[in-house]
């Protein structure tokens, strides 16, 4: 059985703004096991990036941790000082950001930027760090690495810059890699290459990954488990097969229905907009956009109902005595396809 290396419990994060307190993350809990990839998915503004940044101690100055724990090997990261964070950040927990140009220093050579974490965290000599940086450049697929190690970020394409950012994140062989929409700015072909690269390097470095995305198509070939977030809350989580083929929350149905496939004739969008988190709803935050919503959805927040040992969803449709609701046809088609795959 894999060791649990990260355990997020009842996390609450507020943001102080001129308009008032934004309740950005509201009682979120999940865990990460050794060697696995957990994908956190949801629309923009659902709280994915805020949650991830809290794990590496990079929240904005107006953020306030209102409650909860983030336990890394049993130690609550929320209790760390900035000095203690600096020993962990980039060493035991590293992050890949969405836009590589904002992550790279335009005035520093690429080799220096890849080698720097080794010098800072591992205390290796500059010569040894540069040699390992060169090896890592080759590992992430940068051609002519011997020559290009002395070049600057602007001399690389977007896809190559993202490979460099991955090299920087993995050079210290961190236990956890946080990837925040790392392929959004790339074309489809380069995106597939970067995802394949991350999977191969994960096996080499033996790191665990939390992968943040709004693109469910990316998740299918990348994740072991999936957590679905909406309006700062966890709506559903389970194995990748459970979320893709047997989702139980109407919000997850909507996300999957809006995902293009080879069989798609039309794409369905989710009507409406997310709630205002200056004044969060007391019930299910998805209720105003949910055509299956009942009176109780407006009045009371649903708990996470257990479907299997690995699959949970926060919807009153799973409560005893709730009316039987058939999922959309696309979800039914996926479930039927999955059952046929299991037989074969």
State how beta strands 225-230 and 305-306 pair. Answer: unpaired
For residue 291, what is the enclosing H or E element?
A: none
Per-residue pLDDT tens over the stretch 72-102: 988 999 999 999 999 999 999 999 987 777 8
Q: Is residue 283 included in any domain, yes or no?
A: yes
- The continuous run of DSSP H or E covering 159 comes out as helix 158-170
Is 274 part of any domain?
yes
Q: Which domain holds residue 82?
A: 4-223
When mean pLDDT is compared over 5-14, 187-196, 215-224, 264-273, the highest value belongs to: 5-14
Lowest-confidence segment of 155-159, 167-171, 331-335 by average pLDDT:
331-335
Answer yes or no: do 131 and 212 share one domain. Answer: yes
Based on the domain organization, do 142 and 56 belong to the same domain? yes
Domain boundary among 173, 207, 223: 223
How many Å apart are CA 201 and CA 204, to the nearest integer? 5
| Helical (H) or strand (E) element with 245 | helix 240-245
The verdict on residue 195 lying in a domain is yes
Closest CA to 184 of 224, 214, 160: 214
Is 93 a domain residue? yes
242 found inside a domain: no
For residues 1 and 295, the model is more confident at: 295
Question: Is the entire prediction scored with pTM above 0.85?
Answer: yes
- Do 133 and 25 belong together in one domain? yes
């Amino acid at each position: 059985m894999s060791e649990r290396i990260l355990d997020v419990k009842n996390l609450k994060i507020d943001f102080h703004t001129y308009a008032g307190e934004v309740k950005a993350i509201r009682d979120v809990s999940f865990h990460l096991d050794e060697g696995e990839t957990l994908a956190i998915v949801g629309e923009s503004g659902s709280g994915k990036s805020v949650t991830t940044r809290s794990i590496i101690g990079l929240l904005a100055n107006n953020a306030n941790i209102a409650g909860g724990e983030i336990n890394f090997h049993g130690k609550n990261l929320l209790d760390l000082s900035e000095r203690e964070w600096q020993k962990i950040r980039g060493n035991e927990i590293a992050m890949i950001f969405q836009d590589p140009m904002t992550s790279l220093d335009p005035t520093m050579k690429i080799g220096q930027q890849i080698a720097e974490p080794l010098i800072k965290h591992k205390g290796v000599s500059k010569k040894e760090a540069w040699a390992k940086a060169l090896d890592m450049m080759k590992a992430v697929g940068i051609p002519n690495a011997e020559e290009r190690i002395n070049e600057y970020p602007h001399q690389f394409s977007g896809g190559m810059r993202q490979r460099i950012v991955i090299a920087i994140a993995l050079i210290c062989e961190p236990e956890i890699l946080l990837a925040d929409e790392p392929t959004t700015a790339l074309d489809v072909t380069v995106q597939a290459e970067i995802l394949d690269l991350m999977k191969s390097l994960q096996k080499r470095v033996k790191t665990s990954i939390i992968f943040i995305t709004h693109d469910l198509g990316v998740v299918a070939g990348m994740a072991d488990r999936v957590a679905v977030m909406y309006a700062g809350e966890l709506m559903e989580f389970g194995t990748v097969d459970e979320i893709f083929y047997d989702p139980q929350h109407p919000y997850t149905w909507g996300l999957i229905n809006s995902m293009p496939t080879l069989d798609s004739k039309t794409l369905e969008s989710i009507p409406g907009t997310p709630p205002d988190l200056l004044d969060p709803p007391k019930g299910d935050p998805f209720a105003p956009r949910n055509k299956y919503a009942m009176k109780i959805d407006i009045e009371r927040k649903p708990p996470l109902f257990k479907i299997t040992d690995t699959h949970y969803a926060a919807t009153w449709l799973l409560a005893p005595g709730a009316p039987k609701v058939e999922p959309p046809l696309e979800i039914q088609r996926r479930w039927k396809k999955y059952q046929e795959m299991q037989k074969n």
